[in-house]
Amino acid sequence: MIRRSVIALALAASTFAPVASHAFPFFAKGETAQAKVKMVKMTLKNQTDAPMDVLIEDKPVTIAAKGEYALNAPEGTHVYGTDKAVKVLVTRDLNGSTASFR
Mean per-residue pLDDT over the chain, rounded:
83
DSSP code string of the chain: -HHHHHHHHHHHHHHHHHHHHHHHHHHS--TTPPPPPPEEEEEEEE-SSS-EEEEETTEEEEEPTT-EEEEEEETT-EEE-TTS-EEEE--GGGTT-EEEE-
**Domain coordinates in residue numbering, the chain:** 39-100
Residue 96, pLDDT above cutoff 70: yes
Name which residue leads in pLDDT, 56 or 13: 56
Query: Quick check: pTM over 0.75?
Result: no
pLDDT one-digit tens code per residue, 23-61: 555 555 555 556 788 899 999 999 999 999 999 988 999
- Which range, of 16-30, 55-69, 71-85, averages the lowest pLDDT? 16-30
